[in-house]
Amino acid sequence: MAFEALYREHFASIWRGVQRFGVAERDAADATQEVFLIAYRSYGRFEGRSSVRTWLFGIAFRVAAARLRSASNRLEVLSGQRLLEDQPVQAALSEQRELVQLLELGLASLPLEQRAVLALFELEGFSGEEIAAVLEIPLGTVRSRLRLARAAFTRTLRELHAASRVFDRAPPREATHE
């Protein structure tokens, strides 16, 4: 497979993925380039033991984690509660944009390890085994992190209830956690 084809096939999902892992949208393109640069250098050693997508997301997670550890980015990673206090959901936003913002707030409220599991499982459709490969953790840890992430995510959304008109249009129903 030509690397360009691989790049094109996975660009959007990696661009989205690094943001799910906490990279700011304005930095997402650069982080995505870093992911593909590492992949390009390392592709000679990729043996296909996991899917290319799983492999790329593993790199993406580490790139995002490294960026989040840096001082400047750390300052940008605010908790969902802090974001809520600083930037209340604006009524002028479209419902779609409002929902996306809620998602960002909900994910931002989670520790990176939980956020990654939730995003990979719920948004990217990875299986538990694939998530274990991406994050290099045991399957049991994936399960426990998902459980914790779901509970915290739901809690954050409930906390946002009063601030978001989305809830006014459709009363929220409790989601099952497992």
Partner 1 sequence: MNDIKRWLDDPLACNSLEARVLSAGQSLTPPPGLEERSLAEFTGLVAVVAATATNAAAATPGELALLAEPGGAALGSTATTSLALGALKSLGIGVALGALGLGALQAFTPSLVPSTPRPTTSAASAASATARRAGSPSSEPQLPTEAQQAPAAAPSSIPSVGAPQNPSRSVTAPRAPSEAASSDSTAAPAAIDPPETTGSERRATASAPEASAPARLAASELKAEAQELARARNLLGEGRAGEALRVLEASARRFASGALRDERELLQVQALARLGQTEAARSRARLFLARDPKSALAPRMRRAAGLE
Q: Is 116 in the site for partner 1 (CB under 8 A)?
A: no
Q: Is 154 in the site for partner 1 (CB under 8 A)?
A: yes
Token readout for 13 is 């999902």
Where in 74-103 is the site for partner 1 (CB under 8 A)?
74, 96, 99-100, 102-103
Instruction: Give the C-alpha distances (Å, rounded to integers) separating 142 from 53, 124, 135, 149.
Output: 18, 15, 9, 10
How many of the chain's residues bind partner 1 (CB under 8 A)? 90
Nearer to partner 1, 45 or 86 (CB): 45
Burial of 19 (0-12, 13-18, 19+ CB in 10 A): buried
Nearer to partner 1, 85 or 136 (CB): 136
Q: Is 178 in the site for partner 1 (CB under 8 A)?
A: yes
Q: Is 149 in the site for partner 1 (CB under 8 A)?
A: no
Where in 27-66 is the site for partner 1 (CB under 8 A)?
27, 29-30, 32-34, 36-55, 57-59, 62-63, 65-66
Instruction: Give the C-alpha distances (Å, rounded to integers) separating 167 from 32, 99, 103, 135.
Output: 34, 10, 14, 34
Where in 5-24 is the site for partner 1 (CB under 8 A)?
5-8, 11-12, 15-16, 19
Nearer to partner 1, 63 or 110 (CB): 63
| Residue the block writes with tokens 């990217």 | 124
- Min dist. Cβ of residue 63 to partner 1 (A): 5
Instruction: Give the C-alpha distances (Å, rounded to integers) separating 28 from 10, 60, 105, 169, 170.
Output: 14, 10, 17, 32, 32
